[in-house]
Amino acid sequence: MSGVWRFLRLLKQRFIGPGSEYVGIDHFGNKYYRIPQHKTWAGQNIKERRIVKAVSLKEYQYESGAIPTEWEAWMKKRRNNPPTLEESIQNKNYRKEMKAKVEDLGEKSKLLQAKDREEGLEVGPLQTQITGHASASNYRKPERSEDPVSTANTFQPGAWMPPDHKK
| Rounded Cα distance, 75 and 64, in Å | 13
Q: Domain locations in the chain?
A: 1-83
> Which one of 13-27, 72-86, 91-105 scores highest in mean pLDDT?
91-105
| Most confident listed range (55-59, 98-102, 124-128) | 98-102
Strand (E) or helix (H) holding 35: strand 31-35
Residue 157: strand, helix, or coil:
coil
Where do runs of H (alpha helix) occur along the chain? Answer: 2-15, 69-75, 85-118
* 35-48 CB burial, b ≥16 within 10 A, e <16: beebeeeeeeeeee
pLDDT in tens, 136-160: 665 555 666 666 566 666 666 666 6
**Rounded to two decimals, what is the model's pTM?**
0.50
pLDDT at 112 over 70: yes
